[in-house]
Amino acid sequence: MNLSVTWDARAASHLLSRTSFGGTLAQAEKLAARALPDAVAALIDVAKEAAPPPKPEWVKEPWVNTERVYPETTPMERMENHRKTGQRHAAERDQLRCWWLDHMARTAAPFREVVTLFWHGHFTTEARRATIAQALYEQNAKLRKHALGSFRELLGAVALDAAMMMYLNMEDSDAKKPNENFARELLELFTVGIGNYTERDIKEVARALTGWTLDAPPGTAKRPTVADAPRTFCRDGLVPTFVKDKHDAGAKSVLGKSGNFGANEVLDIVAAHPATARFVSAKLIAFFGAADPKNELRDRMASKFRQTNGDIATTLGVLLTAPEFYAKESRGTLIKSPVHLLVGTCRLLNLDATFTPSLAQVTAAMGQELFNPPNVKGWPGGRDWISAGTLAVRYHLPEALFDGKQPDGFEPLAGDRNFALPADEKARRDLLARIQAADRQRKESRKKDGFKVTFDAAKAADGTDPTDAGKLVRALVAKMLAVPPAADALAALTDAVTAVPAAERAKLACRLILTTPEYQLA
Amino acid sequence: MLPNIDRRRFLGVGALTATVPAFLAATGRALAADPKAAAGRVLVVVQLAGGNDGLNTLVPFRDDAYYKARPKLAVPRDKALKVTDDLALHPEAGGLRELLDAGHLAAVANVGYPNPNRSHFRATEIWETATPDKEVLTGWVGRYFDAECAGVASPMLGLQLGEKPALAFAHPKGRAVTLTNPSLFEWEPGAAKAMERLNAVRPTDNPQLDFLRRTGNDTLSLSRKIQDALKDTKTATEYAPFNFSQSLKVVAQMIAAEVPTRVYYVSLGGFDTHTAQAGRHAGLIQELSQGLRSFAADLKALGHLDRTLVMTFSEFGRRVAENQQQGTDHGTAGPMFLAGGAVKAGVHGDKPDLANLDEGDVKFKTDFRSVYAAVLKNWLAADPKPVLGGAFDAAPVLA
């Protein structure tokens, strides 16, 4: 590997492609005009100073549980409250996805969102198990707040967090029966990693974390719910609250240290452990994409992480100025995540996009539903993004973005049978006809919301004159592709674009470039 | 892919509609019939997601303990469809009974595993990885493909109709495709040609780019294969206009078109019936039963039933006693169904022992891995041991 950095516009373009959902040539040239350390410092500073996006309007202070069951709640009311609450949460989760994607597409500090997305895949929570959208929003706000700050503070914020506590069963963990779910993932996936702890450590950490639950804000008057109701039906709030009586205050031994530990002491121990520095550094390298065959970059990052007590921005600074990051082996070799692909396309082509649930669902169809990673390990990334099924969705992206057309294949084949149909032939046929009509109507109303994206040829091509098709294609290819296309592919693109009238050329060129294998790479 | 105006021009663009390169012809060959498959046999895995109420599916209709535990939800004795002296099918399972009478259905009662897990998530993982004692990242079908299908070129040995890829197929050397809807593989012919051209394989020093091009070519070839299968294959029976039935219809078309797929995977969800169970469960059983009946009739008429085996599973059964909300909570063991070619028709295993419960749940009698072992050994002619990570006697459910 050649480990000297040639810091030029192409290198700057590589940096933007990995940290900022891509950038224009002008942005890359501007960045390249500064020295590499200054350019990276500026990128980090802009990200650190960025204001958070405004809260979604449905976020309530304090959050109210609308499906609590009181002694006088009738079974019918209970069912109705449960149904309505579930529907509202589902709608809010959709809006949450749209809210984040919209911010990613518009923010002037995209690096902050890219790092937040990294932490979202690290400190995972699955919406299919932690369904309350407000808790997911609050977790997301914490990830963003601490994204480039102190790892220990980030860890503290997401450990005592409503979404995480519901997801990994910390909410009801008490001294009598410590729940080990969070303790296990804390060690295995969030900090030290496999091979650096024992089963005994998990049990001890679980004991130290007992006593935490979710409650209404302090001082709130509470109306008692029925006894023994499941959590969903008696939860009073989303505020992590310590209940001393439920805490195991005895002596524990964690990763070689002993004491009467509680949550804070355990988080101090795991955050400062040398294995955590290595584990987090390696994950950052995989996410941002740098060839590091001998773990030398990882070890330099880990050492900086420890020197700075886990300062994330400084650690990332080592990565983004590293010769390994700019080596040939690291260029154009990262498969874009679905979120990167969608947001990057909107940003790069200056698309005027309203993030509707249909548009947000496109990333799910490609294998990355925000707030709902496949499991507690998050999205594996890399080649796992690509299979025939997900690549086919990527091929349909131009239809959705440029034509506002919902590809048929994004919808299930038909609706579900929610009740048994009558045995009588005529009654059955009548009912089926009604169900099918309702299905059609639902489908149409979903599509009505559809895709609201406007493609503007001049904006997409940064004003390049389409009269010279070859020039237009070269400009778009230079802007959009991290890997230069082969000569015959470029010739084919140019021929195709030349054959249509000037006014349609930019759109056709973008359409074709989006379906190239090169465009899938950052 | 393209709006009409662009499409017409697109189709006229010679540069992008050049002759199909040689490598694509080679890919096409790889997608021809799968000579190594055991007599061209296919397996269709049907997931009943959410935890199917086994006791109300295969009903112990002579057992007073059942009626005592379920004053509101029990299937009435006179409505149950009797299949043995002790067990009957749910009244909406008429299709399953027809299959059983025709010798095409076997039910295995009380299937489970030691130390059952009652979390949907973990229990589903256990069934899909066939590894109850630890968390692993490969599925049992994925391991079967890896162990037995090394020389087979098909990139869609597994084909799932659904949204979230099933863990059963998971493997570092993935050989399965998941799609919500085969229309996903439809695009304008001009666009397909363009994509073929843009994905032309020319090895580079960028392994990710080469991987994307290879997968791109696979995708385009699959797309043709799938479209041809759906276009050319007639459906011999009517399927209900619901997602599960329609998914089975697509699977039947694929089987009849002899695409190189060995294992299909289809899900029917909604079995998590904590509240107001009776109506919803009846609808689900009706969908399962009618769907499988249509599927079997279709394949029989098309001459492919003998090479098809369906196997159902659910992550757990439900608690014996009904709850206060006319529903049932998470339980343990439940029945599996096998339908198609080589089943030993009838009910295997005894009725659940409701006098001898484990914390309110049915104790399992047959380990699900011995049913998997039967499918692997007797149907797919594969050695179950490396796939299941241990020796399990094949349950005597297949001929």
Task: Judge contact between B347 and B109, C-beta under 8 A.
Answer: yes
Contact indicator for B11, B190 with CB cutoff of 8 Å: yes
A8-22, A98-112, B224-238: range with lowest mean pLDDT: B224-238
The Cα A420–Cα A424 span in angstroms is 12
Q: Which residues of B touch A418 (CB under 8 A)?
A: 270, 280, 283
Q: Which H or E run includes B370? A: helix B368-374
pLDDT band at residue A338, thresholds of 50, 70 and 90?
very high
Q: What's the rounded Cα separation, in Å, for the pair A505 and A492? A: 14
Displacement of CA B122 from its chain's centroid (Å): 19
pLDDT value for B135: 84
Residue that has been written with the tokens 């799938």 in this structure: B226
Containing A452, the helix (H) or strand (E) segment is: strand A452-454
Question: Which parts of A62-147 fold into alpha helices (H)?
Answer: 75-106, 110-122, 133-146
| CA–CA gap between residue B163 and residue B283 (Å, rounded) | 22
Q: Residue A33 has what pLDDT?
A: 98
The nearest alpha carbon in chain A to B282 belongs to A420
> What is the distance in angstroms between the Cα of A48 and the nearest Cα belonging to chain B?
32
- Residue A518: half-sphere exposure toward Cβ, Cα within 13 Å: 24
Contact between chains at B215 and A386 (C-beta distance less than 8 A): yes
Query: A515 vs B244: CB contact, 8 Å cut-off?
Result: no
Token pair of A138 as six digits: 């609050």
Rounded to a whole number of angstroms, the distance from the CA of B375 to the nearest CA of chain A is 27
* Mutation target among B17, B156, B175, B209 for the A interface, most CBs of A within 10 A: B209
Say whether A419 and B282 touch across the interface (CB within 8 A): yes
Round to whole Å and give the CA distance between A77 and A402: 46
C-alpha dist (Å) from residue A25 to A106, B184, B209: 18, 34, 23
Separation between Cα atoms, residue B230 and residue B227, nearest integer Å: 5
CA distance A512 to chain B (A): 8
Using CA atoms, how far apart are residues B63 and B33, in angstroms rounded to an integer? 50
Number of A–B residue contacts, CB under 8 Å: 195
The answer to whether residue A518 scores a pLDDT higher than 90 is yes
User: How many Cβ atoms from other residues are within 10 Å of residue A256's Cβ?
Assistant: 8
Tokens 């299919």 identify what position?
A128
Share of chain B above pLDDT 90, in %: 64
Looking at beta carbons, which residues of chain A come within 8 Å of B17?
none
What the block records as the tokens of A323 is: 């010769």
What's the rounded Cα separation, in Å, for the pair B176 and A413?
Answer: 20
Give the Cα separation of B250 and A412 in Å (integer). Answer: 12
Q: How far apart, in whole angstroms, are the C-alpha atoms of residue A297 and residue B131?
A: 37
CB of A344 within 8 A of CB of A336?
yes
- Grade residue A256 by pLDDT with cuts at 50, 70 and 90: very high
What pLDDT sits at residue A418? 82
Q: How many Å lie between the alpha carbon of B95 and the closest alpha carbon of chain A?
A: 12
Q: Report the distance separating Cα B301 and Cα A138, nearest Å.
A: 57
CA-nearest of A497, A400, A491, A407 to A457 is A497
Which two three-digit tokens encode residue A509?
């060129």
pTM: 0.84
> Residues B34, B263: contact at Cβ < 8 Å?
no
> Among A144, A173, A145, A176, which Cα is nearest to A266's?
A173
Residue in B171, B242, B259, B319 to test binding to A, most A beta-carbons within 10 Å: B242
Give dist(CA B38, CA B18) in Å, integer: 39
Q: How far apart are alpha carbons B379 and B39 in whole angstroms?
A: 10
Q: Which of A54-63, B3-12, B150-159 has the lowest mean pLDDT?
A: B3-12
Mean residue pLDDT of chain A comes to: 94
Q: What's the pLDDT band for B317 if we cut at 50, 70, 90? A: very high
Question: What is the bridge-based pairing of β-strands B366-367 and B105-112?
Answer: parallel
Of B363, B122, B243, residue with least CA distance to A169: B122
Q: Does B242 map to a domain?
A: yes
Encoding tokens for residue B91?
A: 């009244």
Q: Is residue B394 part of a domain?
A: no
Token pair for residue B131?
A: 């590894």
B189 touching A (Cβ < 8 Å): no
| CA separation for the pair A169, A341 (Å, rounded) | 34
**What DSSP string runs through B28-43?**
HHHTS--TTSGGG-EE
Distance in angstroms (rounded) separating the CA atoms of residues B6 and B4: 5
User: Rounded distance, CA A417 to CA A435, Å?
Assistant: 9
| Entry field: residues in chain A | 522
Cα–Cα distance measured from residue B97 to residue B78, given in angstroms and rounded to the nearest whole number? 16
Q: What is the C-alpha to C-alpha distance for residues B340 and B305, in angstroms, rounded to an integer?
A: 6
Tell me the CB-side half-sphere exposure of residue A34, using CA atoms within 13 A.
14
Chain B residues touching residue A500 (CB < 8 angstroms): 6, 9
The answer on pLDDT for A184 being more than 60 is yes
Domain CATH number, residue B84: 3.40.720
Kindly tell me if the per-residue pLDDT of B16 is higher than 60: no
Kindly determine whether residue A409 and residue B183, on different chains, have CB atoms separated by under 8 Å. Answer: yes
**Window from A10-14, A37-41, B159-163 with minimum mean pLDDT:** B159-163
- Which of A281-285, A322-326, B89-93, B324-328 is predicted least confidently? B324-328
**Which chain B residues touch A393 with a CB distance below 8 Å?**
184
What pLDDT does residue B14 have? Answer: 33
Q: A494 to chain B: nearest residue by CA?
A: B15
Asked whether the predicted pLDDT for residue A254 surpasses 80, the reply is yes
| Length of chain B counted residue by residue | 399
User: Chain B interface, mutation test: which of A181, A363, A377, A387, most B Cβ atoms within 10 Å?
Assistant: A387
The span from the CA of A70 to the CA of B354, in Å, is 34
Q: Is A179 a residue whose pLDDT tops 60? A: yes
Count of Cβ atoms closer than 10 Å to residue A298 Cβ: 24
Which residues 121-150 in chain B show a CB within 8 A of chain A?
Answer: 121
- Sequence-distant (≥ 6) Cβ neighbours of residue A19 within 8 angstroms: A43, A110, A111, A114, A288, A320
Angle, in degrees to the nearest 10, between helices A338-348 and A357-365: 130
Distance from CA of A431 to the nearest CA of B (A): 12
CB B384 within 8 A of CB B377: yes
- List pLDDT tens digits, range B151-205: 887 878 999 998 778 999 998 887 888 888 888 888 877 777 788 888 887 889 9
Question: Chain-wide mean pLDDT for chain B?
Answer: 87
Per-window interface: B 303-322 vs A, CB < 8 A: none
CB atoms < 10 A from the CB of A272, how many?
Answer: 16
pLDDT score, position A79: 86
Residue with tokens 């140019």: A494
Tell me the C-alpha distance between A107 and A85, whole Å.
Answer: 32
pLDDT in tens, A448-477: 678 899 999 999 999 999 999 999 999 999
Domain span at residue B270 reads 40-185+219-388
Any domain includes B246 = yes
Measured in whole angstroms, the distance separating CA B3 from the mean position of its chain's CA atoms is 36
Sequence-distant (6+) residues with CB within 8 A of B231 are none
Asked if the Cβ–Cβ distance from A395 to B219 is below 8 Å, we say: yes
What is the band of A315 on the pLDDT scale with cuts at 50, 70, 90? very high
Bin A178: left if φ > 0, else alpha if -120 < ψ < 50, else beta: beta
Type of residue at A514: L
On the question of pLDDT at B91 being above 90, the answer is yes
Provide the token pair at B383: 């050695």
Interface contact B276, partner A, CB < 8 A? yes
Count of domains observed in chain B: 1
DSSP collapsed to 3 states, A132-179:
CHHHHHHHHHHHHHHCCCEHHHHHHHHHCCHHHHHHCCCCCCECCECC
* Bond from prior residue into A62 cis (ω within 30 degrees of 0): yes
Residues 6+ apart with CB under 8 A from B394: B370, B373, B374, B376, B377, B378, B384
B395 located within any domain = no
The string of pLDDT tens digits covering residues A143-161 is: 999 999 999 999 999 999 9
What distance in Å separates the CA atoms of residue B48 and residue B54, rounded to the nearest whole number?
Answer: 11
pLDDT of residue B224: 84
The percentage of chain A sitting over the pLDDT mark of 70, rounded to a whole number, equals 99
Dihedral angle computed from the Cα positions of residues A232, A237, A241 and A244, in that order, rounded to the nearest 10 degrees: -60
pLDDT of residue B20: 33
pLDDT at A27 over 60: yes
pLDDT at B53 over 70: yes
What is the predicted ipTM?
A: 0.93
Kind of pairing between the strands at B105-112 and B346-348: parallel
Determine the Cα angle at B229 with ends B147 and B211, to 5°.
Answer: 50
What are the tens digits of pLDDT across the range B203-221? 899 999 999 998 898 888 8
Under the phi-then-psi rule, with left for phi > 0, alpha for psi from -120 to 50, and beta for the rest, what region is B389?
left
Phi (first) and psi of residue B163, to 5 degrees: -100, -50
Q: Which of A436, A500, A517 has the CB atom closest to B213's CB atom?
A: A517
Closest by Cβ to A500, choosing from B9, B92, B185? B9
What is the spatial distance between Cα A213 and Cα A174, in angstroms, rounded to a whole number?
9
Whether residue A174 contacts residue A244, with contact meaning beta carbons closer than 8 Å, is answered with: no
* CB neighbourhood size of B254 (10 A): 23
With tokens 């998050």, the residue in question is A378
pLDDT tens, position by position, B54-67: 999 999 999 999 99
Residue B193 lies in a domain: no
User: In chain A, which residues have their Cβ closer than 8 Å to the Cβ of B197?
Assistant: 489, 492
Question: Does the pLDDT at position B15 exceed 70?
Answer: no
CA–CA distance, B126 with A326 (Å, rounded to integer): 43
Q: Which residue of B has its CA nearest to A373?
A: B164
**Contact list, A413 vs chain B (CB under 8 Å):** 161, 180-181, 243, 246-247, 250
Would B5 be classed as within a structural domain? no
CB–CB of B325 and A75 under 8 A?
yes
Cα-only R_g, chain A: 26
Confidence of residue B119 (pLDDT cuts 50, 70, 90): confident
> What was the pLDDT predicted at B38?
58
Q: Which residues of A touch B286 (CB under 8 A)?
A: 417, 420-421
Please indicate, yes or no, if residue B67 is contained in any of the structural domains: yes
In a domain, B45, yes or no: yes
Closest CA to B308 of B372, B375, B231, B245: B375
